[in-house]
Amino acid sequence: MENEKSKGSEALNIKLLLGGLMISLLVGALDNSIMSTAMPKVIASLGGMAYYVWPFTIYLLTSTIAIILSGKLSDIYGRKKVLITGIVIFIVTSVLCGFSQNIMELTFFRGLQGIGGGILMTIPFIVVAEVFPPRERGKYMGILSSVFGFANVLGPVLGGFITDFMGWEWVFYVNIPVGITAIYMLRSYFPHLEIVIKEGVIDYAGIVTLTAALSALFLGLTFVRSTAVSSGLVASLFIFAGFMLLVFIYAEKKAREPILPMKLFKNSIFNVSSIAMFLSSAVMFCGIIYIPLFIQGVQGMSASTSGLLITPMLVSLTIASLITGQIISRTGTYKKLAVLAFVLLTLGIGLLSTMNTSTGFVVLIIYSTILGIGTGMMYPIFNVAVQNAVPMRELGTVTASMQFFRNIGATVALPVFGVIVNITVNMDIQTSKNVSPALMSLGIHNVFISGLVISFVGLLVCFLLKDKVLAGRGDFEVEKKDLAGE
């Protein structure tokens, strides 16, 4: 009887913990999806069409740095403390974003917001990896990943409605009640399954060199076509980024506890998964950001209509994530699913690249839904693959690394996509002008073609992925006991 009560209590704790983690993940995921439909109106209000991708890219840049750091910080200070700190940062900076008076202020505050967002996108996946064995992990990763889909379904519709009827500032203020709810859930229920904390040190050299490399790369990609910045300076930024990357690699080899251990790259599953996550993220953001722009900038629809039209894509993303997680748990394998995901991703972005000013709503919905299915399948696959390929003591690091490469893919791709659009419509980064629907359609078409090339490369990479059988609960419990005894 007592054993049944104990099992019931444990099951309840797991559900409450998952609920808290899902809400905290929702805080960060909801913001990005809301921004996708709100951004055209933000630009109309604040000006700066040539800076369209900046608020997205700076967010991704800072969140990428926070992602790779948060895993180590949570090892030292605890998952709960770091996660709640991330939520607080996110709430405060959301308010600051809402008060922005111009595009530069918004870009700066979005950069600060990305610090909190990076923490929120990492810690929940680490906790799930530590609580569940690899064979069961796919199911729970799918459930947790479905938050992205739910946020992507709710966000565009909510973002369009709020933008049209309340003003774009309120797309940031909506984070406040969601964030407070997440803090309450985690403070109340997280202690029941608190993770044992390991001693550790912070890799400051790695943080500084990685930040310098990513910042220089971001600026170089952003100003690659600006007449206000000399080509020599742009070239210098790229050279500096490359140099700092080499310094970062050297620092990681020497660090006692590196934020990105170089030894992970000796694992082929980690290498393939990192590249696949990098490429799939670039394609995903290609769709999420430029489909709403196509609907509003080419077809002349409102923000709320834009949100409704991409809802089927985002619903399919959610369902695909849940189903994929269940399949992984039942079969114990993942390679065929990874290949199928990239096939659908390539097909979806390829079909989107055929759209023009005469494309109907039904066609757009079908094409974007195919992209959504492929994108949704990606979420659980590669996290489970790398977590199963490393010892339990490295779960935090590899999970953060997967999120890191996911963000890096978007961070690198978005400025490139922005440059492609600017070149197509002959718009300099320092200027702002109205663009005809036909010309905007051509610019977005070129972006989708770029996404098609990226996705095809990802498909080829997936054939190199090793299909390692996922460990069951027995092996998982033994490893946990061995780790606890060290």
Answer for the pair 122, 70: CB distance below 8 angstroms, yes or no.
Answer: yes
Give CA 316 to chain center in angstroms. 18
Amino acid of residue 214: L
| Domain shared by 323 and 295, yes or no | yes
In a domain, 265, yes or no: yes
Last residue of a domain, one of 255, 272, 291: 255
In a domain, 166, yes or no: yes
| Domain shared by 339 and 378, yes or no | yes
| Domain shared by 117 and 103, yes or no | yes
Answer for the pair 147, 128: CB distance below 8 angstroms, yes or no.
Answer: no
| Domain shared by 95 and 175, yes or no | yes
| Domain shared by 213 and 358, yes or no | no
Token pair belonging to 337: 């699913």
Q: What is the pLDDT of residue 225?
A: 62
| Domain shared by 241 and 284, yes or no | no
In a domain, 198, yes or no: no
Give the burial string for 210-247 (b: 16+ CB within 10 Å, else e). Answer: bbbbbbbbbbbbbbbbbeebeeeebeebeebbeebbeb
CB-based contacts of 160, cutoff 8 Å, min separation 6: 37, 38, 302, 303, 304, 305, 306, 307, 308
pLDDT tens, N- to C-terminus, the chain (486 residues): 555 555 555 566 677 777 778 877 877 777 766 776 677 777 777 766 666 667 877 887 788 788 878 877 777 777 778 888 999 999 999 889 888 888 888 888 988 998 998 888 888 887 777 777 766 766 777 777 777 766 766 776 777 777 777 777 888 888 888 788 878 877 766 654 444 445 567 788 888 898 888 888 877 877 776 666 677 888 898 999 999 999 999 998 888 878 788 888 888 889 999 999 899 988 888 887 788 888 887 888 876 777 778 778 878 887 888 888 888 878 878 888 999 999 999 999 999 999 888 888 889 889 989 998 998 888 788 888 887 877 766 777 787 788 788 878 877 887 788 778 777 776 544 444 566 777 888 888 888 999 999 999 999 999 998 877 665 554 444 444 444 444
In a domain, 479, yes or no: yes
| Domain shared by 334 and 216, yes or no | no
Task: List the CATH number of the domain containing 106.
Answer: 1.20.1250.20
Q: What is the pLDDT of residue 4?
A: 52
Vertex 357: Cα angle to 354 and 360 (nearest 5): 75
Q: What is the pLDDT of residue 397?
A: 75
In a domain, 52, yes or no: yes
Report the predicted TM-score, pTM, of the whole model to 2 decimal places: 0.73
| Domain shared by 156 and 245, yes or no | no
In a domain, 96, yes or no: yes
**Domain carrying residue 210:** 204-255
- The residue whose two tokens read 């996705």 is 455
Distance CA 72, CA 167 (A): 39
The region, left, alpha or beta by phi > 0 then psi within -120 to 50, assigned to residue 426 is left
| Domain shared by 237 and 314, yes or no | no
| Domain shared by 240 and 261, yes or no | no
Distance CA 218, CA 354 (A): 29
Closest-CA residue to 294 (of 439, 115, 136, 460): 439
Query: Looking at the 3D structure of the chain, how many domains does it have?
Result: 2
Element (H, E) at 86: helix 79-98
CB-based contacts of 235, cutoff 8 Å, min separation 6: none
Residue 433, exposed/middle/buried by CB under 10 A (0-12, 13-18, 19+)? exposed
In a domain, 199, yes or no: no
| Domain shared by 111 and 101, yes or no | yes
Last residue of a domain, one of 235, 255, 275: 255
| Domain shared by 243 and 356, yes or no | no
Distance CA 369, CA 312 (A): 6
